[in-house]
Amino acid sequence: MKNVSIVLASVLLVFSSFVAKVSAQEVSLPEIKQEKVVADLPEENYDQEKQDIKNHLSRSFMYMKDKDFDALMEYSYPKIFDHVTKEQMIGVLEETYNNPELEIDVLYQDKINSIGQIRQIEDYYYSLINYEYQLLVSNDFSSKKIQKRFHALLNETYGSENVTFNPSTNKYTVNIVRNGYACSKNKSSWSFIEIDMEKIEFYKLILPEELVDEIQGL
């Protein structure tokens, strides 16, 4: 059975991506831990700038759901593209969503748990955010052994309490809670980068030292 790649990049590639390889010999996913909520912020306390962050995050998820990857790139933290081209990222996403063995949908319902203080560091404004979304994943694996491994892998990566399987639709629902940064040069147009603790060395290349230290303390 050929390898299957899942790369979800968020928003935000934004949503940092996860990669899964599934074959008759191998199943592997880098560990991605569920992130704790940093600070609660009731919706009635959003000021205009924080509402702009919420609106831009919702829009980025809409583009991911609609598979409009060109538009999605506009919501990705620009400094990412100092190290990988937009064309490369779009190519990975298109390959993933055109994979005949996997079907992936992103569900987002404006579930933002917190939006932190907006801080200016060097030439950008940053806000630490915490949000939730769901993945709906179905597959067409012919091997029951691979199907079982895939299920176990999702449980191990996200926690069994966050993964449910509906046998009637052959779909997994994965609940994900993430930290990330909203980033802007003008506090009106926002892009995003999702925090994955496994990518700390990459963040040292693209984020201010103050934020890297903050990530390590989460």
DSSP-assigned letters across all residues of 79-148: GGGGTS-HHHHHHHHHHHHT-TTEEEEEE----EEEE---EEETTEEEEEEEEEEEEEEEE--S-HHHHH
Domains recognised in the chain with CATH numbers:
4-23+54-216 (3.10.450.100)
Q: What is the pTM of this model?
A: 0.78
Candidate from 83-92, 93-102, 147-156 with smallest mean pLDDT = 93-102
Q: Contact, 112 vs 54, CB < 8 A? A: yes
Rounded mean pLDDT of 94-98? 85
The model's pLDDT over 200-215, given as tens digits with 9 standing for 90+, comes to 999 999 999 999 999 9
Closest CA to 118 of 107, 127, 105, 109: 127
Q: Using one digit for the tens of pLDDT, what is the confidence trace for 125-140? A: 999 999 999 999 988 8
Q: At 46, is the pLDDT very low, low, confident or very high (cuts 50, 70, 90)?
A: low
